[in-house]
Amino acid sequence: MALMITDECINCDVCDPICPNQAIYEKPDRYYINSDLCTECVGHFDTPQCVEICPVACIPKDPNKIESLDSLYEKFLSIIKQNN
């Protein structure tokens, strides 16, 4: 499943630059994750980098966007293909 950033986000800006798929974006109130681009870092890292670095632990899995490891990897391959 894709990740989401909750309203506990403090706009610290540590997650956005480390996202390998550029799925994280900022709005005036906080950061958000584009679920179409989020692969939970599958294909890049063993763990989601935004979750690892978040100082307030506000990046859980989105229960409304359930995806298997295989589907996350397929999404990763699709993103890589589009970017080349």
**Residue 62 belongs to some domain of the structure:** yes
Count of domains observed in the chain: 1
Indicate if the pLDDT at residue 79 is higher than 70. yes
| 2 three-class SS | coil
CB neighbours of 62 closer than 8 A, spacing ≥ 6?
Answer: 1, 2, 3, 4, 33, 35
Question: What's the CATH number where 67 sits?
Answer: 3.30.70.20
Q: What gap in Å lies between CA 60 and CA 43, rounded to an integer?
A: 19
**Residue 3 belongs to some domain of the structure:** no
> What tens digit of pLDDT does each residue of 18-63 get?
999 999 999 998 999 999 999 999 999 999 999 999 999 999 999 9
CA count, 13 A, side-chain hemisphere, 71: 10
Please report the pLDDT score of residue 1 as a whole number: 67
| Residue 53 lies in domain | 16-83
Q: What gap in Å lies between CA 19 and CA 36, rounded to an integer?
A: 13
The owner of tokens 């499943």 is 1
Please report the pLDDT score of residue 84 as a whole number: 76
Please report the pLDDT score of residue 10 as a whole number: 94
